[in-house]
Amino acid sequence: MPELPEVETIRSQLHFGLTGRQIAAITVLSASSFQAVGVPVGDLVGERVLGVRRRGKVLLIELSGGWVVLVHLKMTGQLLFFDSGGSRTRQTRVVWEFAGGGALVFNDQRRFGWMRVVPAGEVADEALLARMGPEPLGEGFGADVLRGRLERHPRQMIKATLLDQSVVAGIGNIYADEVLWGARIHPMSPVGVLSAVQVDELASVVVEVLERSILLGGSSMRDYVDASGERGAYLDQAAVFGREGEPCGRCEEAIVKIRVAGRGTHLCPNCQELAGP
């Protein structure tokens, strides 16, 4: 569930809270949640946090000593920062404690998420990162870049393409639906039939929606909270996601929920017409 706006919200909080802290202990309560191949966990004790970056939905916690810890929250992961103390729950998988107090707590109900320790020089070799497409909020992203990425998948349904992290980084199920409503594109439209105007519109809506969500603290379905435990407010004003049966904000037609590419998909059947060849 955490997509780009949620991960970015956590990133900025952790960058502020963790930078400069020294690791005093790491406790792994679920082995599959903490992947450190060939790296004794004890080797990280004493290292300091240099900063926290983000690539798509992946967080990169940079440590002294040449380590980087990648974090993917998948659907139910939470990363909570405590300035002092730090409380655990039944879902707590990993706890970092810092010298002088404070803790980073990784909760993950379903254990799909992970923390992965990687030497800094090998971060670029991570397949997930190596394949990842452009950052939609990065410099240079725009209609031309998006068009270039979409051209590789002319027959694919646009929703499946937007969910493909190698096309554009950071978009998940919630924002794919929101963005397609904003651009008035049916999620099942083949990429190749979209007009130039539609692709232009899509590129600008992607940026608008993601930026607005960051301002609102992201989306909280059930599990997502930011690093201080707060829920996000984006879904309070979402256009279609989670609003099946409610009137479309543009035309009053009832929002419907269908299945596209194996995912629950929300759209307005009136203003998102299925483009055909």
- Contact positions vs DNA (CB under 7 A): 1, 3, 32, 56-58, 72, 74-76, 90-91, 109-112, 127-128, 131, 153-157, 160, 163, 165, 172-174, 190, 221, 257, 261-264
| Strand residues in the chain grouped as ranges (E) | 23-28, 34-35, 49-55, 58-63, 67-72, 77-82, 92-98, 103-108, 114-119, 256-260, 263-267
Report the first-to-last Cα separation within the chain, whole angstroms: 33
Q: Exposed, middle or buried, 259 (CB in 10 Å: 0-12/13-18/19+)?
A: exposed
Q: One of 2, 5, 134, 187 is an active-site residue; which one?
A: 2
- Closest to DNA by CB, 46 vs 131, is 131
Shortest distance (Å) from residue 126 CB to DNA: 9
The structure tokens 């299925």 sit at: 274
Q: Are 123 and 129 in contact (CB under 8 A)?
A: yes
Active-site residue, 2 included: yes
Active-site residue, 3 included: yes
Tokens coding 165: 């992290």
Identify the three-state secondary structure at position 261.
coil
3-state helix, strand, coil in the chain (%, to 5): 30, 25, 45
For residue 41, which of 89, 95, 92 has the smallest C-alpha distance? 95
* Helices 196-215/173-182 angle, 10° precision: 130
Q: One of 11, 54, 55, 57 is an active-site residue; which one?
A: 57
- Closest to DNA by CB, 120 vs 221, is 221
Shortest distance (Å) from residue 77 CB to DNA: 9
The structure tokens 């439209």 sit at: 189
Active-site residue, 190 included: no
Shortest distance (Å) from residue 73 CB to DNA: 8
Phi and psi of 190, rounded to 5°? -65, 140
- Closest to DNA by CB, 19 vs 269, is 269
- Closest to DNA by CB, 190 vs 269, is 190
Instruction: Please spell the DSSP secondary structure of 193-241, one letter per residue.
Output: G--HHHHHHHHHHHHHHHHHHHHTT---SSS---TTSPPP-GGGG-SST
- Closest to DNA by CB, 62 vs 178, is 178
Shortest distance (Å) from residue 108 CB to DNA: 9
Active-site residue, 247 included: no
- Closest to DNA by CB, 124 vs 155, is 155
Residues annotated as catalytic (active site), given as ranges:
2-3, 57, 263
